[in-house]
Amino acid sequence: MTDIVATEGLTKRYGTRTVVEDLNLRIPEGCVYGFLGPNGSGKSTTMKMLLSLIQPTSGEVQVLGQPMTRGTRRQLLAGIGSLIESPPGYAHLTGSENMRIVQRLLGLNRQQIDFAVATVRMQNQMDKKVREYSLGMKQRLGIAMALARQPQLLILDEPTNGLDPAGIDEIRTLLRRLANDGVTVMVSSHLLGEIDKTANMLGILSQGQMIFQGTREQLMAAPTPEPPSPS
Ligand SMILES: Nc1ncnc2c1ncn2[C@@H]1O[C@H](COP(=O)(O)OP(=O)(O)OP(=O)(O)O)[C@@H](O)[C@H]1O
Ligand SMILES: [Mg+2]
């Protein structure tokens, strides 16, 4: 099985503080990869490094078998859709207007936009202003924006944050549907229960270190992981 994302020794330090340490991520193509860890464990920092939004202190990122470098960055990022930290979009514009901006920026056609909106089931909400959306609607619009370019890899940072159980369930179903359609999904959460039924691969971070990476079955069979002692 090919890894769509692989990192070698990925590390981020701020001053003397190491916030992501020596990560060797392996995300097999076609899976839903659940990236778990408590607040501050380094999930967003890792995802931002995968997307070249911040520069690693050391280590390498490979996407689709190619190292992410200045020369390959543009082409590799074209195949990745992402939603990092908070839902994007201009609050004073409607869903449609926001999607039109994405369409223009990425040079997409109408069908791609309509398909992304239909995938997140937002067709009936597109004439409303984003500031009138519920949190779940904002998250879904954010996912539609990430999906519009028809990425091979989707990186979603806590898309279920703040959603009620029905909203969480809806996102889970959506992620499973996307994976069935061949999109590899990396999704972070601080709650195992929110993604364990969706994810077929899990990576667990604690204080910037990967304390487990493998399938859900392997996790259940593993001895209880010890968090690294505070330094
Ligand atoms: N620009 C920065 N400068 C200094 N420290 C930072 C910076 N960005 C993040 N950190 C620190 O890095 C650590 C990891 O942060 P990160 O946002 O990656 O965690 P997270 O796992 O996404 O947490 P959460 O679940 O709260 O979103 C935190 O201790 C944070 O304070
Ligand atoms: Mg975060």
pLDDT band at 208 (very low <50, low <70, confident <90, very high): very high
- What ligand has the least distance to the C-alpha of 43? 1
* Count of CB atoms situated within 10 Å of the CB of 127: 9
What does the pLDDT look like over 117-127, one tens digit per residue? Answer: 998 889 999 99
- What ligand has the least distance to the C-alpha of 156? 2
- Domain total of the chain: 2
Out of 129, 150, 171, pick the residue that ends a domain.
Answer: 150
Out of 135, 150, 165, pick the residue that ends a domain.
Answer: 150
Supply the range of the domain harboring residue 179: 1-79+152-231
Is 117 in the same domain as 156? Answer: no
- CA 9 from chain centre, in angstroms, equals 20
pTM comes to 0.91
**Residue from 18, 19, 211 whose mutation best tests the ligand 1 pocket (most atoms within 8 A of CB):** 19
pLDDT at res. 168:
87
pLDDT at res. 199:
92
pLDDT band at 191 (very low <50, low <70, confident <90, very high): confident
Is 165 in the same domain as 230? Answer: yes
Is 144 in the same domain as 173? Answer: no
Decide whether any atom of ligand 1 lies within 6 Å of the 48 Cβ: no
Whether 84 maps to a domain, the answer reads no
201 C-alpha to center of ligand 1: Å? 23
Q: How many angstroms separate the Cα of 114 from the Cα of each of 82, 122, 145, 171?
A: 18, 10, 11, 19
Of residues 191 and 43, which shows the higher confidence score? 43
List 210's β-bridge partners, or say none. Answer: 205
pLDDT band at 217 (very low <50, low <70, confident <90, very high): confident
CATH no. for residue 229?
A: 3.40.50.300
DSSP string, 98-157: HHHHHHHHHT--HHHHHHHHHHTT-GGGTTSBGGGS-HHHHHHHHHHHHHTT--SEEEES
Q: Which of 36-40, 74-78, 164-168, 179-183 has the lowest mean pLDDT?
A: 164-168
**Cα 219 from Cα 153, distance rounded (Å):** 24
Is 159 in the same domain as 225? Answer: yes
Residue 38 Cα: closest atom of ligand 1: 25
